[in-house]
A and B are shown apart, each in its own frame.
Chain A
């Protein structure tokens, strides 16, 4: 839920943002250039002090989709219990967005996970590595053009037999 006056303030500040609502949840699509600035403004001016999650959606082959990736920031105001979803669309070939670790320390691992699964690059991240998969993994498995069963990475190991062990 979000208070109407909070939303009005946000829309007055960022008029290009497309605001919509679904089942009581407010989400706003913010242009990519303004994303960092808008998140900082939401934190400082409107009191959205908690970054609940960062996740990503791959819209490849999605009906009616105009962009490839949608980065999703879930914000919460712990004082007033307001919540808002900020969505930023990212397209190939430039998959770089500005890291929000300077705003919320907790974004560190979330951005690493999004990088691990989707290959979005977060500029300015202090520790930009994979978090779940092995370092030598060569793909981004949650992209829709990656096969569900992988490309044989799961069976690329040496075999230990009785006479070898």
Chain B
């Protein structure tokens, strides 16, 4: 079937289009608790200008956000707040763990500091550094954009458990069982 299309028409999948929209208009939720928050502010300010990547609309209500940036250490009194904010964000949503403290607890290996937020909420990108430079955060957002373009679907299939996805697996992928 050959259909004559004008030159200014592009054919794509609806998923691709939705992902392309999502990745270029991320609305971050700044969960800034320490010095990483200063770098986060610098990333959003004029010199580094996060608006170049479409992620400059920082919202302070989780209901308007789809990207949580956890910048700084999270203590045990703050973790229920973090989880509650994460649950209040609408799907689809992503999370960046910014800096050593959010990712691993950093140097704060004490009784009250959570040793990595990925123990309690899902994390998509980790940014190393203490604190990371704005360029590193921008790189993480670029990588996350690639991930969103690659993985996101309208049906939200990527958020389901692997066994429920029902993706047909090639024979070569299956483990070879020796008798």
How many angstroms between the C-alpha atoms of A80 and B117 in the bound complex?
A: 51
- Which one of B7-15, B50-58, B76-84, B137-145 contacts A? B76-84
Contacting pair B83 A154 (CB below 8 A): no
How many angstroms between the C-alpha atoms of A153 and B110 in the bound complex?
A: 11
List residues of chain A with CB under 8 Å of any chain B CB: 132-134, 141, 146-151, 153-163, 165
A-B interface pairs (CB < 8 A), number: 59
Contacts of B115 in A (CB 8 A): 154-155
The 5 closest A-B pairs by CB, nearest first: A150-B111, A154-B76, A162-B122, A162-B159, A160-B121
List residues of chain B with CB under 8 Å of any chain A CB: 75-77, 79-80, 83, 86-87, 93, 109-115, 119-122, 159-161
How many angstroms between the C-alpha atoms of A149 and B114 in the bound complex?
A: 10
| A165 with B122, Cβ < 8 A, contacts A146-B111, A148-B110, A150-B110 known | yes
Indicate which residue in A133, A157, A158, A160 contacts B122 across the interface (CB closer than 8 Å). A160
Contacting pair B120 A160 (CB below 8 A): yes
Contacting pair B86 A134 (CB below 8 A): no
Cβ contacts A to B, 25 pairs, < 8 Å: A133-B77, A148-B109, A148-B110, A150-B110, A154-B111, A154-B112, A154-B114, A155-B114, A157-B79, A157-B80, A157-B120, A158-B83, A158-B120, A159-B120, A160-B83, A160-B86, A160-B87, A160-B120, A160-B122, A162-B122, A163-B159, A163-B160, A163-B161, A165-B93, A165-B121
